[in-house]
Amino acid sequence: MRTIRTLAAITLVAMLFSGCLPGVGSSSGGGTVKDTSGEPMSWLGVTLATKETPDTPQKNFAVADTSVVVWKLNLQRHDNESVHTVRAEWYWHDGTLKWKEDRTIAPGRAGTVSVVGGKGYSEAGAWEPGVYTIKFYLDGSPIGEELFRVIGADAEPEDNPIMLAGVDFHYAGDISTPVRVFAQDDTDMVIWFANFSVTNEAAGEHSMLATWFAPDGTALWREERDFVINYGASTKSVAGGQGFDTPGKWAIGKYTLVLTLDGEPIGEGSFSVGETTEGGGEMTPTGTEGLDLYGLSFYNRGDYANRVDRFDNDATAMIVWAVSISRQPDGATGTHTITAAWYMPDGTVKWTQDKDFELEEVDNAKRIIGGKGYTEPGNWVAGEWTVKFYLDGEFIGKDSFTIE
Indicate which CATH number applies to the domain containing 245: 2.60.40.10
Are 273 and 292 in a shared domain? Answer: no
Rounded average pLDDT over 72-83: 84
Q: Which pLDDT tens digit goes with each residue over 162-193? A: 988 889 899 988 777 788 888 888 899 999 99
Amino acid type, 241: G
Rounded average pLDDT over 69-88: 88
Please give the residue that has the higher pLDDT: either 387 or 268.
387
Percent of the chain with pLDDT over 90: 37
Do 100 and 88 touch, CB atoms closer than 8 A?
yes
Write down which residue in 231, 260, 283 finishes a domain. 283
User: How confident is the model at residue 18, as a pLDDT?
Assistant: 43
Pairing between strand 283-284 and 189-198? unpaired
Q: Nearest-CA neighbor of 79 among 106, 41, 47?
A: 41
Are 20 and 41 in a shared domain? Answer: no
Q: What is the tally of structural domains in the chain?
A: 3
Rounded average pLDDT over 41-49: 89
User: How confident is the model at residue 281, as a pLDDT?
Assistant: 45
Percent of the chain with pLDDT over 70: 86
Instruction: Grade residue 128 by pLDDT with cuts at 50, 70 and 90.
Output: confident
User: How confident is the model at residue 223, as a pLDDT?
Assistant: 96
Are 366 and 392 in a shared domain? Answer: yes
User: How confident is the model at residue 237, as a pLDDT?
Assistant: 92
By residue count, the chain amounts to 404
User: How confident is the model at residue 324, as a pLDDT?
Assistant: 84
The rounded mean pLDDT for the chain is: 82
Lowest mean pLDDT among 124-133, 157-166, 288-297, 384-393: 288-297
Q: Is the pLDDT of residue 254 over 90?
A: no
Distances (CA, A) of 395 to 41, 50, 291, 343, 349: 47, 42, 12, 15, 16
Q: Which pLDDT tens digit goes with each residue over 255-303? A: 989 999 999 888 888 888 886 534 444 444 445 667 777 778 898 887 7
Are 230 and 331 in a shared domain? Answer: no
User: How confident is the model at residue 25, as a pLDDT?
Assistant: 34
Largest CA distance in the chain: 71
Do 177 and 170 touch, CB atoms closer than 8 A?
yes
Q: Is the pLDDT of residue 30 over 70?
A: no
Q: Is the pLDDT of residue 371 over 80?
A: yes
Rounded average pLDDT over 16-20: 44
Are 154 and 165 in a shared domain? Answer: no
User: How confident is the model at residue 88, as a pLDDT?
Assistant: 94
User: How confident is the model at residue 97, as a pLDDT?
Assistant: 81
Write down which residue in 126, 158, 190 finishes a domain. 158
CA distance 42 to 271: 31
Are 149 and 183 in a shared domain? Answer: no
Structural domain for 374, as ranges: 287-404
Residues 6+ apart with CB under 8 A from 118: 51, 68, 69, 70, 71
Half-sphere exposure of 187 (CA within 13 A, CB side): 26
Q: Burial level of 37, CB count in 10 A (0-12/13-18/19+)?
A: exposed
